[in-house]
Structure 1
Amino acid sequence: MSGSKLYRWLAGACLALALLAAGWFFVLQPRIEAKLAGQLGYGDYTLQTTSGGTFTRESLRGGPTAVFFGFTHCPEVCPTTLGDISQWQEALAAEGRDPLDVYFVTVDPERDTLDLMDDYTSWAPGVQGVSGPRGEIDKAITAFRVFATRRPLEDGGYTMDHSAFVLLFDRDGRFTQPISYQEDTDRALAKLRALTGS
């Protein structure tokens, strides 16, 4: 193959790869992500809440709703997030907006009874603790596509590594966007205002 033919072949191959990459990043990937996001929270899990109700897929409807996965023995992420949620609720109330229905789902049901969850969450406005059998918790973890795993400690105990974002759902139970751990307050409130109707 001559040098000019090889050059044209390489140029054509590079163009084809560029078109494939553009198709993936600008067409296929957004569609796949939108489809997956639209299914977030779907599943056949049935858990109990500290208010005496049940937490299922249907609990996300009628919101706006926020869902956070954590555990009561969490040293930093969970209490900090509950504090943030409390501030968000106060800010929404001061603006005359509807409060969020917030579900704090344990990833450690072996230790987190409903009574313990109630003690842990009751100070934060609008937050209900959620617990239940390990099998149902695992179904919820899968349905919401969060990460949670047990990590042994040197003293023989254990802690839980888990996702640290708050998932937001609209009134129809559709996932809209996450709020990251310790996200800037103004940015978080902007997301909540959009969710509750600006």
Structure 2
Amino acid sequence: MKSIARWALLLCCWAAALPAHALYKVVGPDGKVTYTDRPPTEVSRVQPLTSSGAPAAGGGASALPFELQRVVGRFPVTLYTSRECQPCEAGRALLRQRGVPYTEKTVNTAQDAAALNRLAGGTDLPLLQIGGQQIKGYAAEEWQSYLDTAGYPKQSTLPTSFQFAPPTPLVAVVPAPAPTQTAAGTPRSAPSTSSPPPPAGNAPPGFKF
């Protein structure tokens, strides 16, 4: 009886200590489950775990692979574009084909152009920013080289459920204020500037309506 109790205690201690050292739960092709504190290269069947052994938040199919998360955190990518810009479209296609998550800012107004000039010292587009590095204009080999240096994978590792964020203006559009309304909810009319009608023909001098 003491031997059985000792083995049960050892098993409980082992089970409690396992998640403290294992950060990833990996399911192999044969269904075998293993635990590791190193991010595996095969990310399709990997589930991050918390220190308690529970699945980590954001560990679903839409989460980025671990290595890509780390690169994005260190060297986030921002793409500045404008309408009817063929090089901008080519640059966007390159990022998507390579599987690089990015934020796209559009430059379509005078305010956008002024903000871009303050940011980059010019208004040449497209502008690619990788971390603190800015690359003006589109040159595929140059962009690929900078992405390689930053550590982005050469081939896309994005999950199939990943969706790129839609572009937004560089300068946020502020809606025009609504017209002032009275308590009854009708727009307040402008004060009349028309002159009063002339006095009647028989009115005494100085008479006013």
More helix per residue: 1 or 2?
1
Q: Which has the larger radius of gyration?
A: 2
TM normalised by structure 1 equals 0.29
TM normalised by structure 2 equals 0.28
More strand per residue: 1 or 2?
1
